Chain A
Amino acid sequence: QVQLQESGPGLVKPSQTLSLTCTVSGGSISSGDYYWSWIRQPPGKGLEWIGYIYRSGSSFYNPALKSRIIISIDTSKNQFSLKLSSVTAADTALYYCARRDGQQLVHDYWGQGTLVTVSS
Chain B
Amino acid sequence: DIQMTQSPSSLSASVGDRVTITCRASQSISTYLNWFQQKPGKAPKLLIFAASSLQSGVSSRFSGSGSGTDFTLTISSLQPEDLATYYCQQSYSTPLTFGQGTRLEIK
Contacts and interface: CB of A to CB of B under 8 A. Distances in A.
A96 B45 CA distance: 12
Contact of A63 (B34, B49, B95): B95
A106 B49 contact: yes
B46 A64 contact: no
12 contacts: A46-B99, A46-B101, A47-B36, A47-B101, A49-B98, A60-B94, A105-B50, A106-B49, A107-B34, A107-B46, A108-B55, A112-B43
B49 A47 contact: no
Interface residues of A, number: 18
A74 B55 CA distance: 29
Q: Is the interface of A mostly helix, strand, loop or mixed?
A: loop
A105 to B, nearest CB: 4
B71 interface: no
A110 B44 contact: yes
A112 B46 CA distance: 14
B43 A111 contact: yes
Given A62-B94, A64-B95, A105-B91, 12 more contacts: A46-B99, A46-B100, A46-B101, A47-B44, A49-B96, A60-B94, A62-B95, A63-B1, A104-B49, A107-B34, A108-B55, A112-B43
B49 A113 contact: no
A102 B49 CA distance: 13
Nearest to B45: A110
Interface of A: 46-49, 60, 62-64, 96, 104-108, 110-113
Interface string B45-59: 110011001010000
Given A46-B99, A46-B100, A46-B101, A106 B46 contact: yes
A45 to B, nearest CB: 9
Interface string B32-44: 1010100000111
